[in-house]
Structure 1
Amino acid sequence: MSLEKNNLHIQEEHQETLQTSSEHKEAQTSEATEEETPCPSSEDLQEGLENSSVLGSSDIPEELCTIPSPTRSVADFLSNRASKRRKSQQYDEQPSTSTDTDYTETYDTDFSDDRVDLMEHFILYKFERQLPICKEELMSFVGVIDEDEFAEILKTTSQNMEFLFGVTIQEANRDNIQYELVSKLKLPNNGRIYAGNGLPKTGFVMTILGVIFMMGNHATEEELWKFLRTMHVRPGRKHYVFGEPHKLVTEDLVRLQYLEYRQVPNSDPPCYEFLWGPRAYEEINKMEVLEFLAKVSNDDPRKFSTHYEEALKDIEERAKANKKSQTQE
């Protein structure tokens, strides 16, 4: 298949993805209106925590609810770009003699966003189908010739991928100029977890680890699913990105030792809670998780002062443990 035909095929699937995800988000919006509010208020969280047998009201940070979920951001990413593309096309139809500075700046911004949009979808298309991501093909697809412009668009795309999916774009082959998505955790299949095609789930896993950390380093099953429902992720209901979430959370991530799932001591009737598993402690620290959540919400991690101090202490303790281990060797 020629490069032009292949790019046209990807563009057609890009439009189908936008249409499908837009319909999915509309269904989510309707469902959220009928069943629940998009995000619980701090008063709702407070009330739920006061009734919890595990955590006290002071253990739950109110700012947790203010952090936009990467999962919901994925839905926004896959659906809202279509309106930007239509808006950019409308600008193209306007007379080119306009001298309005604000108009010109808006046009340039939308045009740049449009190319970032194309690059993101191209990379996701290739990743999901386990196809090589070649620089030449990528430049042709987004219509970029200038190396500096390409580097800037690639940088923005990489930043978006990091907080949407928990992966970074790295150069994979210097000779052929190819790129790959690298998971921030050592999840199987480079973040897919399951063998075969699919999108990376690293961002979702890091979100769960962040919720557990910010809820006192342990979260009851009821509390975790309450939070996940604000992301339109419900046990027993297949998610268009993450599949069946109950199996993913309570079985796969437990089996992979990223989560520990245990009965709350002395609970009657029995209830269960989640903690970080050994592989989570091995592959990531609390500061990295906090920075991930802060980046998603465009905040400084020091804003979460109590958790920031705990994250600093975690780094210090790890450094001491590593030094002690090296001394013993």
Structure 2
Amino acid sequence: MDPTENNQSSNFWDIPQAQIEERGSEGTQDPIAEAGEVEAIATAPGDVPAGGPPSSPQSAEGPPSLPTAMGPIAGASFGNPLAGMPDTEFPSQDDGLNGKIIDLVRFLLVKFRRMEITSKEEMILRTMRDYEEHYSVIFSKAAECMKLIFGIDMLEVDPFVHSYFLFPALGITYDGMLHGVVGVPKTGLVIIVLCIIFIEDNCVSEEAFWNVMNALGMYAGVDHFIFGDPRSLITEDFVEEGYVEYRQVPNSLPPRFEFLWGPRAYAETTKMKILEFYASIVRQDPRSYPEKYAEALREEQERI
């Protein structure tokens, strides 16, 4: 399988970090201001500036070529939270609307942290006054942002009042809010890691893995403004939680390491769910990747 033949870059976050910081400093949204840890999304050090990634041992000489199979996802950046989402429903230059999407994402993160249900009425009241007519667009983009970045799904629990409960996506039970940047969900990063491993034939070398992560704006040992140090999260916390296996390649001198799915990943999610998530990022049908789709389908049948 070679997803690069679809050639659809997934730059799904395009609002500058400076604008996120500006929205966070307005001080007009009480529920967001009450949750100080969510401010880390906008203010934690280590953000990747718009001009390029920070210097790091892995990026100083320029990263090697990206693994071919991860081509579509390699164009993404976790530094800008809304890029690549379709802008057909309103002008992309409307900073007011983009700001409202950011406001709603921040509000939903607080609701997730508190395990509280929210409603259309509350979301409009708290985050989008004077923009009520754009509710459907703001809501859909914020919901997509929550899933793609933070790995959080929204379940409509009452269709009459449009109330929603937020929970980790794809069957993952880990939110990671006590690891890395405290109070920020890390489920999305778990899912991305599982995507990379699965697309790379279920076992990816450490070098190839960090090539992809570098292209996503995350560098080993360099704090990311949303997630903190990705190396520590992935090789320590995700391993300890059972989602990732990080092992030395047998008989490798000097020692080389590789990543595989851990037992908890196999227990909680499926290759099909991960493939569908990956396909949603690159805006393709999962069947566009016949080899991986067949593998995922076999696993589904074996679970029956």
TM-score for the superposition, normalised by structure 2 = 0.69
Q: C-alpha distance in 2, partners of 1:131/1:151?
A: 23
Is 1:24 equivalent to 2:47 in the alignment? yes
Alignment match, 1:325: none
3-state secondary structure, aligned to 2:81? helix
Alignment match, 1:158: 143
Instruction: Specify which of 271, 285, 288 is matched with residue 286 of structure 1.
Output: 271
Give the partner amino acid of 2:172. K
Is 1:236 equivalent to 2:221 in the alignment? yes
Q: Which has the higher helix share?
A: 1
User: Structure 1 residues 152, 105: closer, same or farther in 2, change over 3 A?
Assistant: closer
Give the partner amino acid of 1:29. G
Is 1:77 equivalent to 2:81 in the alignment? yes
Is 1:309 equivalent to 2:294 in the alignment? yes
1:21-71 Cα deviation digits (max 9, x unpaired): 89934276163799859x968xx24xxxxxxxxxxxxxx6x241221576x
TM-score for the superposition, normalised by structure 1 = 0.65
3-state secondary structure, aligned to 2:172? coil
Instruction: After TM superposition, give the deviation of residue 256 of structure 1 in Å.
Output: 1.1
3-state secondary structure, aligned to 1:67? helix
Instruction: Specify which of 140, 160, 172 is matched with residue 186 of structure 1.
Output: 172
Q: C-alpha distance in 1, partners of 2:31/2:273?
A: 34
1:287-324 Cα deviation digits (max 9, x unpaired): 111111111122222222221221122212222xxxxx
* Structure 1 residue ranges without an equivalent (≥5): 46-59, 85-101, 320-329
Identity of aligned residues (%): 31
State the Cα RMSD in Å.
Answer: 4.4
Q: Is contact 1:218–1:273 with CA below 8 Å preserved after alignment?
A: yes
Alignment match, 2:70: 64
Q: C-alpha distance in 2, partners of 1:117/1:132?
A: 19
Q: C-alpha distance in 2, partners of 1:106/1:186?
A: 35
3-state secondary structure, aligned to 1:253? helix
Instruction: Specify which of 244, 259, 278 is matched with residue 259 of structure 1.
Output: 244
Q: C-alpha distance in 2, partners of 1:273/1:161?
A: 29
Q: C-alpha distance in 2, partners of 1:193/1:275?
A: 23
Q: C-alpha distance in 2, partners of 1:235/1:223?
A: 13
Instruction: Specify which of 178, 187, 194 is matched with residue 202 of structure 1.
Output: 187
* Structure 2 residue ranges without an equivalent (≥5): 1-25
Is 1:167 equivalent to 2:152 in the alignment? yes
User: Structure 1 residues 168, 315: closer, same or farther in 2, change over 3 A?
Assistant: same
Q: Is contact 1:18–1:78 with CA below 8 Å preserved after alignment?
A: no
Instruction: After TM superposition, give the deviation of residue 198 of structure 1 in Å.
Output: 1.8
The number of equivalent residue pairs is: 271
Question: Bigger relative contact order, structure 1 or 2, given CA contacts below 8 A and separation 6+?
Answer: 2
Q: C-alpha distance in 2, partners of 1:216/1:304?
A: 13
Query: Highest CA radius of gyration, 1 or 2?
Result: 1
